[in-house]
Amino acid sequence: MILCNYGCGKEGKHQLKNGKVCCEKSFQSCSEVRKKNSSSLNSGLYYVRFNPNKMMSVCYFCGKKISIPGKKSHERYCYLNPDNLKLCAMCEKPVKNYRSEITCSHICKNEYLKLDTKPRGSIGHKKICFKQHKKECII
């Protein structure tokens, strides 16, 4: 009995063109060759591309996780950067939207602008209008 030359231990039934004896019609069908080929695929021989955008770093000022390519830009425009730091006019907390806002929140903005300070005894526009004009429909 002649054994397969590819190491599976089975009886070699077919002689190939290269002179070796194999258990199957093709050496690629031999169980030992198939096992060897599949294990090399699973062992990580494929090239894994390095992606720097998935690597994270921490902002020096606010401690937020940022991808490495965007870190320099984030730190330049970070609201806690001492160059950009703007404190709220009401509560002295840092303002996140420092380029366009004066206060840190809507509550502080309402207090700052005093939007809710209409005097209770004021005369409305209808009363002023009817003092000057007749109460009649003009349509």
| 8 and 39 co-located in one domain | yes
Distance CA 27, CA 18 (A): 11
Specify which of 36-45, 72-81, 101-110 reaches the highest per-range mean pLDDT.
72-81
Whether residue 61 contacts residue 83, with contact meaning beta carbons closer than 8 Å, is answered with no
Tell me the per-residue pLDDT of 9-38, one tens digit each, with 9 for 90 and over.
898 999 999 999 999 999 889 988 888 887
Does the pTM exceed 0.75? no
Residue 112 — very low, low, confident or very high, per pLDDT cuts 50/70/90? confident
Q: Where would I find the H helices in the chain?
A: 31-42, 68-77, 106-113, 125-132
Distance CA 125, CA 102 (A): 32
Q: What is the mean pLDDT of the chain?
A: 83
124 pLDDT above the threshold of 90: no
In the chain the beta strands, taken as DSSP E runs, fall at 14-15, 21-22, 56-58, 65-67
Distance CA 74, CA 71 (A): 5
Q: Which domain holds residue 99?
A: 86-115
| pLDDT, position 48 | 62
Residue 72 — very low, low, confident or very high, per pLDDT cuts 50/70/90? very high
Would you say residue 137 lies in a domain? no
| 92 and 80 co-located in one domain | no
Would you say residue 26 lies in a domain? yes
| 10 and 27 co-located in one domain | yes
Would you say residue 138 lies in a domain? no
109 pLDDT above the threshold of 80: yes
Q: What percent of the chain has pLDDT above 70?
A: 81
Indicate the number of domains in the chain: 3
Nearest in space to 6 (alpha carbons), one of 19, 17, 22, 18: 22
Question: Residue 86: which residues within 8 A CB-CB, separation 6 or more?
Answer: 79, 94, 95, 98
Would you say residue 30 lies in a domain? yes
Would you say residue 122 lies in a domain? no
